Structure 1
Amino acid sequence: MPQLNPTPWFFILLISWLTFSFILQPKILLFTPTNPPSNKTLPITKTSPWNWPWT
């Protein structure tokens, strides 16, 4: 069964991970987000408990 032979598939896996790790990942990490997170505190909303009609 040729699909059990790991020789070509392991090489393809290794090359694709190396490509991602050393070439694509640094390029992706250089992008700046368009909406940077803000330090604004969100207002706290008061919630009321649910009134069940059968209690």
Structure 2
Amino acid sequence: MGFEGKIVFVTGASSGIGLAVVKAFSEHGAKVWAADINNEPEAFSGDDNIEFRRLDITR
């Protein structure tokens, strides 16, 4: 199943399950908006499908 043409928003994207979810959606063609209170992980560099934003969703 492909996700081409879909946009996915993932919070908690810098580590653990969030990071795995971002990578999986990107690998299947989705454009991913990744957000986390921490800095952008190295894993996102060079992937044109991932747009990272530092974000605190508690505010």
Higher relative contact order (CA 8 A, sep 6+): 2
Bin of the TM-score, shorter chain as denominator length? under 0.3
TM-score, normalised relative to structure 2: 0.26
Structure with the greater alpha carbon radius of gyration:
1
Larger proportion of helix:
1
Higher percent of residues as strand? 2
